Amino acid sequence: MLEENYTFDHARVLDKGYSDTMKYTLYHNNRPVYLLRIYPLNESIRCTLEHRYLHEHYRNGVQCQQPLTMQILPELNCCYLLLDYLSGEDGENVLPHLPVDEQYQQGRAAGQQLHIIHQVIPDEPIDWAKRRYNKYIQKKQQARQLDLPFYRQTELEQYIEQNVDLLCNDRVVFQHDDFHPANLIFENGQLSGIIDFSRFDWGDAWEEFFKLPKYTCEVSTTFACGQVDGYFQDTIPDAFWPHYNLYVALNQHATLIGGLQHHAPSYVLDKIRHTIKTHDFAGQGPPAWYAKTGAQR
């Protein structure tokens, strides 16, 4: 199936993560050399775009896997993307074992990488504000159908409606859309790569940060603080935290819906409750995880 100039002698299924994509690590002389991602044929357009944008990121200096080739195979009803192999361990395993100061420094490195990712912009204008609001309304309706209200839901929805105009001033850029420690690779305690761009999207660069309380803070709040500081080179714009708070609020209905697929309802509801209690929606300031950890530095 692969082109002749890519040699390997055996493959192993890579089943880590929640993605439905078929993934294989390809080996040569017992050494991992490639990562093969196989998609259904109906995803060939998106696979082609992923290949294109990975090339752009790689040229821009993003520590991503180098895309080697992409092929569409109608006879097999699939397409594939071949990447070079990135050795190391993911941040969920590495970060808790690093000294606190090093967690912060690696967070800064991650923030700097995210800033480079956001240099890529769409070919044509996108009415992202309208699309993002419509996505929220859809998730809100789905959440209502579950008949499982969450902590301060009505108050949060009122806050969203009062602040939704913040969406209108956003610059649209390439979003990794799954940027958190599980998709960051470390070697010898240093950030060495960013993986899994398959969920990429377009939107406000600052929307990426809602993943911090959702995933990153569970691993290391110090790393999360470093990611913010590194992204902005220690000069956080006044407009950032109001936007951040809005994106966190917009995501809570999706958290409820998506989380129920993998966790018990009580876990999801507790997670949402903690997020809402620790964010300054009224004052539009930084969340407790940043204010507390930043004050200790």
pLDDT at residue 54, rounded to an integer: 98
Question: From residue 32, how far is each of 9, 35, 36, 183, 200 by CA, in Å?
Answer: 10, 8, 11, 18, 25
pLDDT tens-digit series, residues 101-124:
999 999 999 999 999 999 999 999
Contacts of 232 (CB under 8 A, 6+ apart): 111, 240
pTM summary value: 0.95
Backbone φ and ψ of 12, nearest 5°? -130, 140
Which residues of the chain form CATH 3.30.200.20? Answer: 10-84
Pick one of 3.30.200.20, 3.30.479.30, 3.40.50.460, 3.10.450.50 as the CATH number of 10-84.
3.30.200.20
Which residues of the chain form CATH 3.90.1200.10? Answer: 89-296
- Top CATH class of 89-296 equals alpha beta
pLDDT at residue 261, rounded to an integer: 78
Beta sheet of 190-194, edge-to-edge order: 89-90, 184-187, 190-194
Whether residue 216 is predicted with pLDDT greater than 90 in this model: the reply is yes
pLDDT at residue 17, rounded to an integer: 63
